[in-house]
Amino acid sequence: MMNYSKIVLKHFRNPHNLGKITKPDGVGEVGNMACGDVMRLYIKVKDDRIEDIKFETYGCAAAIATSSAVTDMAKGKTLDEVLKLDYEQVIKDLGGLPPIKVHCSLLAIDALDEAIYEYLVKNKREIPRDLEIKHQKILTRGRH
């Protein structure tokens, strides 16, 4: 058994915001090339805030725990605030991750960025430069 922190295990055993949103405003789907696991994240946006957020993943305990934590952090925040979330902060808030599991924590943040990207494109909104760069990187790595 991996040496996970108590917070990681708590999220893993009882993940928050697990599931699917019907008629989402944006969907982000990414894959982890290292292990082949996949994550799909759905958002509902109202007045530029994340009104609702859910995720589905075929991932390990670290991926599930980080997704649970990331979706908690994103709910109710503005899109600008959410785009500033970074995986190092998420790992810190979770009490750390075993080094070989750090790559798993990227899935949730990447999927969230992709969901916001899709939302902005669908609504013909300007894409922030940083988000465009992240999107291109995710495309280059391959979705799954």
60 flagged as catalytic? no
User: Shortest CA distance to 91 belongs to which of 113, 76, 106, 77?
Assistant: 106
Q: How many residues does the chain have?
A: 144
Range 28-57, binding ligand FES (CB under 6 A):
32, 35, 37
Separation of alpha carbons 63 and 65, rounded Å: 6
Supply the minimum distance, in Å, between the C-beta of residue 55 and ligand FES.
Answer: 12
Strand partners, 27: 42
Supply the minimum distance, in Å, between the C-beta of residue 111 and ligand FES.
Answer: 11
According to CB under 6 A, which one of 15, 26, 28, 59 is a site residue for ligand FES? 59
Q: What are phi and psi of 112, to 5 degrees?
A: -65, -45
Count of residues that interact with ligand FES, criterion CB under 6 A: 9
Residues in touch with ligand FES (CB under 6 A): 32, 35, 37, 59-60, 62-63, 104, 107
